[in-house]
Amino acid sequence: MAIIYEKKEKIAYLTINRPEALNALDTTTWREMFGAIEEFRRDDDSWVMIVTGAGDKAFSVGVDLKSTISSLADGGAEDLKWTRESSTWFREIYKPVISAVNGFCFAGAMEMVLATDIRIASENAVFGQMEAKWGIFTSGGGTVRLVREVSWCHAMEMLLAAQMITAQDAYRMGLVNRV
């Protein structure tokens, strides 16, 4: 399973479970994740959701570029429409969503974190909008949310220079609540 979704008392836990791929988001992971998010949204007995990544290397590195590029090359752009819907991560959820970030948090995964209400980072967390290194542009979710969360110059450095930041820097910038 690419996603582990479990409930303990009033708390729902969503874990991205592809540590061998640094928890990259492929089509299967995306579908399972949105199924779990929808289940949380409808479940009146779950009061809060905590989102994290399996393993200690990565929360998630974002979209799985290996599978995405091959799908695009095969003419499967319609199969990848979910990549354009990243701004809908937790839409219409009126309960708190907390991200617990460990390791790498890049690109689409950072967009997901930006959509959460409370953000906790481990000491080893590293954040970045790395799309510029690949010559691609981040979806609207990343650019719009990031410039609203941190100062303009910090956002531009992260977006245009694919600048990575540490957990402590993310805290100082106001990107996370605590480390």
| pLDDT 10s digits, 74-98 | 555 555 555 555 556 777 889 999 9
pLDDT, position 153: 83
pLDDT, position 152: 85
Between 108 and 179, where is the model more confident? 179
Which residues participate in catalysis according to the annotation?
111, 131
Give the pLDDT mean for 113-122.
94
What does the DSSP assignment read for 107-176? Answer: HHHHHHHHTSSEEEE-TT-EEE-THHHHT----HHHHHHHHHHS-HHHHHHHHHS---EEHHHHHHHTSS
Q: How far apart are CA 83 and CA 108, in angstroms?
A: 8
User: Identity (one letter) of the amino acid at 76?
Assistant: G
For the segment 31-43, what is each residue's pLDDT rounded down to a tens digit? 898 899 999 999 9
- Residue length of the chain: 179
pTM metric for this prediction: 0.86
pLDDT, position 141: 60
Between 142 and 83, where is the model more confident? 142
Angle between helices 152-160 and 140-149 in degrees, nearest 10: 150
